[in-house]
Amino acid sequence: MAKIIAIINEKGGVGKTATATTLAYLLSKKGHRTALLDFDGQGHSSIIFGVKNPNKLEVTINTLLRKLVEDEPLPEPESYIIKTGCGVDLIPSNTQLFTLERNLCNVDFRERILTQYIDTIKDSYEYIIIDCMPQMGTPMINVMMCADSIIIPTQAELLSAQGLAELLKHHQAIQRNSNHRLRIEGILITMDSPNTILSAQVNDLIQRGFADKVPIFKTHIPRSIKVAEAVLHHQTICEFLPGNPAAIAYGQFADELLSGGHGKIAERSI
Ligand SMILES: Nc1ncnc2c1ncn2[C@@H]1O[C@H](COP(=O)(O)OP(=O)(O)OP(=O)(O)O)[C@@H](O)[C@H]1O
pTM of the complete model: 0.95
Given a contact cutoff of 8 angstroms between Cβ atoms, the answer to whether 32 and 59 are in contact is no
Given CA atoms 106, 110, 114, 115 in this order, what sign does their dihedral have? negative
Which comes out higher in pLDDT, residue 123 or 159? 123
- C-alpha 236 to ligand 1 mean position (Å): 11
Q: Which one-letter amino acid corresponds to residue 255?
A: D
Alpha helices (runs of H) in the chain, residue ranges in sequence order: 16-29, 44-48, 61-69, 77-80, 100-103, 113-121, 138-146, 158-162, 164-177, 197-210, 225-232, 237-240, 245-259
Ligand 1: residues within 6 Å at CB?
12-18, 40, 42, 44, 134, 190-191, 221, 223-224, 227-228, 231, 246
CA–CA separation, 228 vs 214, rounded Å? 29
Q: How many CB atoms lie within 10 A of CB 194?
A: 14
> Is residue 115 scored above 60 in pLDDT?
yes
Instruction: Give the closest residue to 6 by CA, choosing from 142, 124, 113.
Output: 142
Q: Which atom of ligand 1 is nearest to the CA of 225?
A: 4
CA–CA separation, 108 vs 216, rounded Å? 37
Q: Is the ipTM of this complex over 0.95?
A: yes
199 CB-contact burial (10 Å; exposed 0-12 / middle 13-18 / buried 19+): buried
pLDDT band for 269, please (50, 70, 90 cuts): very low
List the residue whose alpha carbon is closest to atom 14 of ligand 1. 13
- C-alpha 13 to ligand 1 mean position (Å): 5
CA–CA separation, 181 vs 68, rounded Å? 24
List the residue whose alpha carbon is closest to atom 28 of ligand 1. 228
pLDDT band for 261, please (50, 70, 90 cuts): low
List the residue whose alpha carbon is closest to atom 25 of ligand 1. 12
- Three-state secondary structure along 173-203? HHHHHCCCCCEEEEEEEECECCCCHHHHHHH
Q: Which atom of ligand 1 is nearest to the CA of 153?
A: 21
Mean pLDDT, residues 160-186: 89
Given a contact cutoff of 8 angstroms between Cβ atoms, the answer to whether 166 and 197 are in contact is no
15's CB contacts (< 8 A; 6+ apart) are 153, 155, 188, 190, 191, 221
Instruction: Give the closest residue to 6 by CA, choosing from 179, 165, 212, 182.
Output: 182
- C-alpha 176 to ligand 1 mean position (Å): 31
- C-alpha 42 to ligand 1 mean position (Å): 12
204's CB contacts (< 8 A; 6+ apart) are none
Q: What is the pLDDT of residues 180-199, one digit of tens each?
A: 999 999 999 999 998 899 88
Pairing of strands 183-190, 149-155: parallel
- C-alpha 17 to ligand 1 mean position (Å): 6
Q: What is the pLDDT of residues 36-79, one digit of tens each?
A: 999 999 999 999 999 999 999 999 999 999 999 999 999 999 99
Pocket test for ligand 1, best of 22, 136, 187, 191 (most atoms within 8 A of CB): 191
